[in-house]
């Protein structure tokens, strides 16, 4: 939906966050947050806000200049949100940001307009955004039965920060682990690895066909090994946008599957 731009009003009890993707009633725990420049609304600035599953002391990782202006400290698991980066960064366009959020299944939040040159004000705004999003997530989490509470593990946090090329490298490593488990008849490791690959797949576009890779990787013997290798090679080629080579690999996969 279209949101009219407005200045964030300071001093109010809580700020307004507009959920363009996702819902305040059921936040996912990870969100792309953006603002527009008050001087030029076509300029879009964004950060990634996540409610971590473990406690984090941000002061260990931020420069002293940032720490002195940005009131951060020990963030308890599930009760506070972390902005990454702690300041808004300019992005190419709103369209690309929304597309990224859709692919990754992130919440997409609009937080108003800013003066991108006023660093203290931007830092304060991002802190307020994190606190408000955390409050939404905590409120939602409290309404769920304990066993059904959504959990965001460390791997998911890392996957959310990876580029597609980095995700493919992680997928290749997990595929090797899957083949080791399958050929070793290790049912438990096979199940754990399949779950991890499925979790990673949520951060990758459908064109990578990770579900098919999992199916191939679970086939025992030389055929399963070769199919898994082809699917991993296919993912590397897609990440590199070498689509002619992808067509050739698809043909080899079809021929091998027909045997």
Q: Where exactly are the structural domains of the chain?
A: 18-148, 162-257
Mean pLDDT of 39-67: 76
Over the stretch 126-159, which tens digit does the pLDDT of each residue have?
888 988 998 998 888 888 765 544 455 556 667 7
Alpha-helix runs per DSSP H in 162-242: 164-183, 187-201, 210-217, 222-239
d(CA 218, CA 210): 13
Band of residue 76 on the pLDDT scale cut at 50, 70, 90: very low
Place of tokens 């705004």: 125
Q: What is the mean pLDDT of residues 164-184?
A: 93
Count Cβ atoms below 10 Å from residue 212 Cβ, excluding itself.
Answer: 14
Q: What is the mean pLDDT of the chain?
A: 82
CA dist 96 and 61 (Å) reads 29
The reported pLDDT for the residue numbered 12 is 34
In percent, the amount of the chain with pLDDT more than 70 equals: 78
Cα within 13 Å of Cα(237), Cβ side: 16
Residue 131 neighbours by CB under 8 Å, 6+ apart: 80, 81
What is the secondary structure of 4-63 as a DSSP string?
---BPPTTSSS---EEEES-TTS--SEEEEEEEESS-TT-EEEEEEE--SS-EEGGGTS-
Give me the pLDDT at residue 189, please: 93
Residue of 84 and 3 predicted with greater confidence: 84
Please determine, for residue 218, whether its predicted confidence score (pLDDT) is greater than 90. Answer: yes
Read off the tokens for 188.
């438990």
Q: How far is CA 155 from CA 149, 191, 224, 242, in A?
A: 17, 16, 26, 28
DSSP 75: E
Model confidence, pTM: 0.49
Read off the pLDDT of each residue in 21-47 and give the average, rounded to a whole number. 93
Q: Are strands 74-75 and 56-57 parallel, antiparallel or unpaired?
A: antiparallel
Mean pLDDT within 75-98? 79
Q: Which of 34-43, 87-96, 149-158, 236-245 has the lowest mean pLDDT?
A: 149-158
């Amino acid at each position: 939906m279209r949101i009219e731009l407005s200045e964030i009003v300071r001093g109010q009890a809580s700020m307004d966050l507009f959920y363009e993707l996702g819902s305040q009633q059921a936040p996912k725990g990870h969100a792309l947050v953006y603002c527009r420049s008050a001087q030029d609304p076509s300029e879009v600035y964004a950060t990634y806000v996540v409610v971590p599953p473990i406690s984090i002391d941000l002061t260990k990782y931020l420069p002293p200049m940032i720490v002195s202006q940005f009131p951060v400290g020990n963030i308890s698991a599930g009760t506070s949100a972390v902005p990454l980066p702690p300041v808004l960064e300019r992005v190419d366009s709103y369209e690309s940001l929304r597309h990224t959020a859709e692919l990754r299944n992130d919440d997409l939040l609009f937080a108003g307009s800013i003066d991108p040159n006023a660093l203290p004000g931007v830092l304060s705004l991002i802190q307020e955004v994190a606190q408000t999003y955390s409050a939404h997530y905590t409120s939602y989490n409290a309404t769920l039965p304990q066993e059904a509470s959504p959990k965001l593990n460390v791997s998911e946090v890392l996957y959310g920060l990876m580029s597609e090329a980095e995700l493919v490298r992680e997928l290749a490593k997990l595929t090797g682990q899957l083949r080791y488990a399958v050929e070793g008849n290790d049912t438990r490791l096979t199940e754990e690895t399949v779950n991890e690959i499925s979790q990673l797949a949520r951060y990758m576009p459908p064109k990578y066909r990770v579900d098919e890779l999992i199916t191939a990787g679970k086939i025992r013997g030389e055929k399963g090994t070769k199919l898994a290798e082809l699917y991993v090679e296919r993912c590397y080629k897609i990440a590199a946008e070498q689509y002619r080579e992808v067509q050739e690999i698809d043909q080899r996969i079809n021929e091998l599957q027909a045997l």
